[in-house]
Structure 1
Amino acid sequence: MSAAAPPSAQPEHTDRTSAGSAAASSALRSRLRAWRLWIILSFVLLVGVVLSLLTSQDADRARLSASNAAPEGAQAAVRVLQAQGVNVVEAEDYAEALGLLGEGGAALLLFDPNEYLSGEQLGELGDEAQKSILVEPTFAQLMALAPDISQAGLVPQDVIDAGTVDADCSAPAAEAAGTVSAGGLAYRGPLTCFTVTGSSEPAAGLFAESEDHAAAVLGYTGLLANESIAENGNAALALWSLGSAETLVWYLPVPADIPAGDAPASPFSLLPAWVDPLLAWTLVVAALAAFWRGRRLGPLAMEPMPVVVRAAETAEGRARLYQDSRALDRAADSLRAGTMVRLAARLRLGPGSSAADVVQAAARSTGRPAAEIDSLLDRPRPVSDSDLVAWSQELTYLEEEITEP
């Protein structure tokens, strides 16, 4: 009978385990039912984020990019040109842009606000391009591609507030546009249209062209941007200025186009050759000096803390400091303040007593006139060490009189 007891206990343990598992599963299902709405919403949100990342991974967000459909892109202007038979080719880098222009008969649109290209690279592009159209060019870009066109600063705020600028010239592109949107930068050239400088001479405008018509400048990115290409005559100006050739190379330089030789030099490479050995020798000398001074100081002396210093020693030390610095005024102030404090304590005056109270109490205690004591305590500052010593003795005599019975 005793040997049969253990087998009979095993089914009971198994039943308990099964009951515990069932309870845990039931609790989990209850929690899932309670939170199922939030779980579904989180899953949908996660799927949406993943899809947006996957779909926008290759999306072009560069300003004035030919394939950018955002408000700052230029996809609409490119489609207008393509509808008129212009073959618009977007160059990915400098090598591709130079290769496309080298095929001959192609115009170049360049927008490089960060000035990634060097003067040599700009010159090579200008030599290969049939015509160069620059958008908000910098001084270096003008010197390389359009030397007879110059910058004239920002467009005045009153012109921007007006919203539009009239052509004011007889160029075919300007006459076709009539009016364009105002903004950006102004430029001066042999042919200047859409003037924004009023009656000043020479006039500056949003569109300038070189004398040989080999280079043109658009002073405002809004003339090509998707958000404003349909406004006023912006589309007409873009078509006339960019559609002069059968092929247009649309090139926006990127950081990878920066020439390797133009990378910032290390500051250490600008130092002369003798700096490195001098620096090493300075470090050696400094280490030797630290070792030498450290040995001369000797071992640290242990002293029990706190250190008790007698009051006479601190007073003497402060007096020597005043004497060494010739601080007669500071020493006189210290004497006067110390005397007033000690007199007030000996005359049993309260902490709020004034100097007049101390003078009156001292006069009553010593029998001296109050005016004499006031003159003694409020004497002008001494001008020499002997005057200071004499005054301190008189103050000492006054304190001794008060302490006498």
Structure 2
Amino acid sequence: MSDQMVFRPEAASTSTRLRQGWRKHGFWIVCGTVFVLLSVLGYLLSNSGGRSSGTLSITNPAPAGAQAAAAILADQGVSVTASDSLSATQALLQGEGPGASTVLFYDPNNFLSPARVGELTDSVSDAGGKLVAVAPGPLATQALSPELSSVGTAGDTATVAPGCGSPAAVAAGTIDGGTPLPGTDATTVTTPLLLFKGAQTCFIPAGSPAGGGGFLASNSAGDITALGNPGVVINQNLASRGNAALTMRLLGSTPKLIWYTATIKDIPVAQHPPTLAELTPQWIFPASLWLLLVAMLGMVWRGRRHGPLVSEPLPVHVKASETLAGRARLYQDARALDTAAASLRQASLTRLARTLRLGISAEPDAVVHAVASATGRPQQQLHALLLGEPPLTEKLLLSMAVELAALEEEVARR
């Protein structure tokens, strides 16, 4: 009968695994928790009260918002409805019923193509309504009406006089001419001040050549208007000069107002998903062929065999010391301190039981009791060394191994 005992490492306790996992991944757990909390807090703050932080948004009370204008219009009996897509705006125009509607159109990011701007114009015209475009781009201006055109941007002008016979412009008097939208600070210009020409052009900056553009232009029918200065409508400047009068006249001339701000929803979705060939750059195929050729040449160059294969008799015998060293390296790489400690203790208990002639089936407590009787050491101390909690650091593991070796030598000498 063999006097060797088969060792099976004991599974690490839950608390030990938790401590090891925390030491290894604690930093990333903390970072992830902080990120999630900040994301949730930012989402709650950005959506509190149904408010929006968008420029010219009717739910934005910030300086660049338009909540004040929408509230004043609502107090005067105008029904103000927000829209964030062309399809929603067209649905509102079709479902308004009796009474014409005014559509405020604001597309600072040029989400709508000229063709879709034309669709908006046709929808407003079919519904018998009016369209007020705030700072439209050159192509969008042409799509609004053939009578309108963009003639560039305005310079630094504090105030601008009407300079035309439009009732809205005459009622407003002077308006702000050099007040861009506020951005991250008071001096940030986020939207240029645009000039337009039309059948009727108003608020032409001083010093402009004859026939130059103005901040307000409309077609001959008066149902399509382009406003070049969004700063006239925002909360920060609404009470300045005649900004409020012009805003109320332009947007409050009908009982219903659709406040349409173009968003990413207006980007058309492809009719079919793109194929792999459409998504692949043209240079991928020749580059892949070149890399394949280089790889084949490399295999031919480095894959040559230097002589015949050498046969080796099987089975291969591995020295016990090599196996021990290999297992120790695996434990060290995995930081399996508890498993390594259990291995050392079990081996010591086996050798102590053999030395004290207790047999390989002796209980660990019986071995501890026998060692205490043989050495005179306190049984509690021996129990902590042979059966206690695993060490938490490699230094403590090394100290435990030295103590176990000293204990075995002490028992062997008696």
| TM-score normalised per structure 1 | 0.54
1:113 is aligned to 2:108: yes
Instruction: Give the corresponding residue for 2:394.
Output: none
How many angstroms apart in 1 are the aligned matches of 2:87 and 2:161?
A: 39
Query: Which of 284, 287, 296 lines up with 2:295 in the alignment?
Result: 287
Q: Is the 8 A contact 1:194 1:206 kept in 2?
A: yes
Deviation at 1:56, TM superposition (A): 2.9
Instruction: Call closer, same or farther: CA 1:243–1:174 in 2, change over 3 Å.
Output: same
Q: Residue 84 of structure 2 contacts residue 265 of structure 2 at CA under 8 Å; is this kept in 1?
A: no
In 2, are the aligned partners of 1:117 and 1:259 still within 8 Å (CA)? no
Partner amino acid for 2:93? L
- 1:151 is matched by which residue type in structure 2? S
Deviation of 1:142 (Å): 1.0
**For each residue in 1:160-211, what CA deviation from the matched residue of structure 2 results, as whole angstroms up to 9, or x when unmatched?**
xxx2111111110111001001132221222111101524032211111112
**Superposition deviation, residue 291 in structure 1:** 2.7
Q: State the match for 1:88 in structure 2.
A: 80
Q: Is the 8 A contact 2:57 2:65 kept in 1?
A: yes
The corresponding residue for 1:180 is 175
- Quickly say closer, same or farther: Cα 1:266–1:73, change in 2 above 3 A: farther
Residues 214 and 260 of structure 1: CA distance in aligned 2, closer, same or farther (over 3 Å):
same
Describe how 1:6-405 pairs up with structure 2 within 5 A. Answer: 53=45, 56=48, 58-103=50-95, 105-129=100-124, 130-157=129-156, 159=157, 163-183=158-178, 184-196=193-205, 198-261=207-270, 269=278, 278-294=286-302
Task: Give 2:390's aligned residue.
Answer: none
What is the CA distance between 1:62 and its match in structure 2? 1.0
Task: Give the match for residue 386 of structure 1.
Answer: none
1:262 and 1:64 map into 2 onto residues whose CA distance is: 32
CA pair 196-239 structure 1, distance change in 2 beyond 3 A:
same
Q: Equivalents in 2 of 1:216, 1:101: separation in Å?
A: 18
How has the CA–CA distance of structure 1 residues 262 and 196 changed in structure 2, closer, same or farther, with 3 Å as cutoff?
A: farther
Distance 1:138 1:266, change over 3 A: farther
In structure 2, do the counterparts of structure 1 residues 55 and 276 end up closer, same or farther at CA, with 3 Å as the change threshold?
A: closer
Gaps in structure 1 of 5+ consecutive residues: 1-45, 300-405
After superposition, the C-alpha distances for 1:347-381 in whole angstroms (9 at most, x for unaligned) are: xxxxxxxxxxxxxxxxxxxxxxxxxxxxxxxxxxx
Looking at structure 1, the residues matched to 202 and 76 of structure 2 have their Cα atoms a distance apart, in angstroms, of 24
Displacement of 1:264: 12
Change (3 A) 1:294 1:197: farther
* Cα displacement (A) at 1:118: 2.7
Cα distance change on mapping 1:174 and 1:54 into 2, 3 Å = closer
What is the deviation of 1:83? 2.9
Question: Corresponding residue for 1:314?
Answer: none
- Give, as a single letter, the amino acid of the residue that structure 1 aligns with 2:111: Y
Q: TM-score, normalised by structure 2?
A: 0.53
How many residue pairs align between the two structures? 247
C-alpha distance in 2, partners of 1:174/1:199? 18
Superposed CA deviations along residues 186-237 of structure 1, whole A, max 9, x for unmatched, are 2122211110152403221111111221210111111101111111111111
Contact 2:50-2:59 within 8 A present in 1 as well: no
Is the 2:152–2:196 contact (alpha carbons within 8 Å) kept by the matching residues of 1?
A: yes
For 1:54-110, what per-residue CA distance to the aligned partner results, in whole angstroms no more than 9, with x for missing partners?
A: 873632111111122211111111222223332211124333211011235222101
Distance 2:69 2:303 in 1: 80
Q: SS of 1:133's equivalent? A: strand
Whole-Å separation in 2 of the counterparts to 1:229 and 1:78 = 11
What are the ranges of 5 or more consecutive residues in structure 2 without an aligned counterpart? 1-37, 179-192, 308-414
User: Once structures 1 and 2 are overlaid, which stretch shifts more, 253-262 or 201-210?
Assistant: 253-262
Kindly name which structure, 1 or 2, has the bigger radius of gyration based on alpha carbons. Answer: 1
C-alpha change, 1:297 and 1:138, in structure 2 (3 Å) is: farther
Counterpart for residue 334 of structure 1: none
What residue is the counterpart of 1:376 in the other structure?
A: none
Return the alpha-carbon distance in structure 2 between the equivalents of residues 61 and 53 of structure 1.
Answer: 11
- Percent identical pairs in the alignment equals 34
Q: CA RMSD in A?
A: 3.4
Instruction: Using CA pairs under 8 Å that are at least 6 residues apart, name the structure with larger relative contact order, 1 or 2.
Output: 2
Distance 1:258 1:281, change over 3 A: same
Q: Is contact 1:101-1:107 (8 Å) kept? A: no
CA distance in 2, matches of 1:169, 1:281: 69
The structure-2 alpha-carbon separation of the partners of 1:143 and 1:264, relative to structure 1 and needing over 3 Å to count, comes to farther
Query: For residue 142 of structure 2, what is the amino acid of its counterpart?
Result: M
Per-residue displacement from partner, 1:239-265 (whole Å, max 9, x unpaired)? 111122221110112212211139998
Change (3 A) 1:204 1:298: farther
Distance 2:284 2:220 in 1: 55
Q: Equivalents in 1 of 2:261, 2:43: separation in Å? A: 28
Give deviations 1:110-152, integer Å, cap 9, x for gaps: 1110112233332222111122101111123212223322222
Distance 2:91 2:82 in 1: 12
Q: Secondary structure of the equivalent of 1:152? A: strand
